[in-house]
Structure 1
Amino acid sequence: ASLLEHFRRAAELDPASCAAWHNLAMVHFDHVRCTCWRSEDELGEHHRHHPDPGATDTEERVVAALECLFRCISLRPSSSPTGHTQQDILTLLTLAFEHGETEGAAAALSRGLADTPAETWLAVVPQVIARLGSESERVRTFVLSLLSTLAERHPQGLVYPLTVAATSPLRAQATGAAHVLAHLRRGRDVLVEQAQLVAAELVRASCLWSEAWIDGLETASKAFYTEGDDAGCVRALLPLHE
């Protein structure tokens, strides 16, 4: 019998065992990683232009790994997370971010998210927010759903990192963070306003006056001499006199 069959049998015999579900998940996860690590050179020219017969198996393994990880995480006490719980969550997020664009994985993520306590995700908020700008629409949907759920149940834990993310130079990330903040404003407008005020003041306080003046003068000079924008020149200088 294969290792997979042994771990699957262990989970069937003791469905309340975190170790059994964790080990079963890692067998699926390792299979997925090994498959994905094969380079195009190893696959050869024929495989580049023809469907890989192992692709369906890989997608099934991704779904199986996600389901096992969700089961394992739900069995661990969310009130006292351990290093094992953290590792399971990070492994799950790795699968979600790398393979969440497939229909099966997206469905598994949606089901698992509905059955997992919101507190589980508080320790990985930065990693989740960092994926707001994912190119995959299904991954973005998962991230937005997760953050919206967390923001609703733990607004104080989400409002500041979301406020910072909303000012990101990455347009997709800033747009996603603003979307969740808009959801958070419903009934908690004061909290969001205060967080934005604190964030703005921290940025202002951390900026040296000399740096602010140099940057302001450069912006004003460009607006006046290069763009011929008198009003833009004034707008660049006014904040320096506040």
Structure 2
Amino acid sequence: MTVYAIIGGTGLTELNGLQLREALSIDTPYGAPSASVLRGDYFGQEVLFLARHGHPHRIPPHQVNYRANLWALKEAGAQAILAMNAVGGIHASMGAGHFCVPHQIVDYTYGRAHSFFEGPDLDHVTHIDFSYPYDESLRQRLINALQTEACRFSAQGVYGCTQGPRLETVAEIVRMERDGCDIVGMTGMPEAVLARELNLPYACLSLVVNPAAGKSAGIITMAEIEAVLAEGIGQARSVLGRVLQAADV
């Protein structure tokens, strides 16, 4: 049975319903992960859970130790990763409360540790193929689960990853829309590429919590974002549970 790891983003710092077996404090060559890796049973399946921003939610997206997080999950026995991300909607179809299962990503981040293949001790330079950043089998599992749960969702989309922690300007969103981005978030990279370097199949379930800058009449408020999260995270948990229940043997 595949051991899935769930990486929880904003609004998902706890996995309600997880029957905890143990909390693992794992030392990595890259420092400490954001939180302990929780091992337990969820919807009848063994699962690992890690809060990307820590618990409580305290680590901003540009300071998440992505390398330590992915390394710790691999060390704990993860064989595939389901990542949860709160995002802004750029495309007209990506309204608040809408889910998206991205198929592509554009990286606008800088200064983050983007690879395990670096440093003075390397024997040779390593290039990995990243043409298709998300595992298609996992994407289809998420899509099937969203259909079963009757959620509003898009089966594909381009995720634009920005540096944060500030939200984007209107001009930046205009640029990203020209680049083909459908949603905007701050945590999709380098998480996806680090999973690829560790040979961990990876897919992302994105919940649109607000219209991107310039896509609504007013400014973006945290109260509005939190209201969408309150409803959407419950749906996301059900979707993730569906994926686990349909897990392969």
Shorter chain as denominator, the TM-score bin is under 0.3
TM-score (norm 2): 0.27
TM-score (norm 1): 0.27
Q: Which has the larger radius of gyration?
A: 1
More helix by share: 1
More strand by share: 2
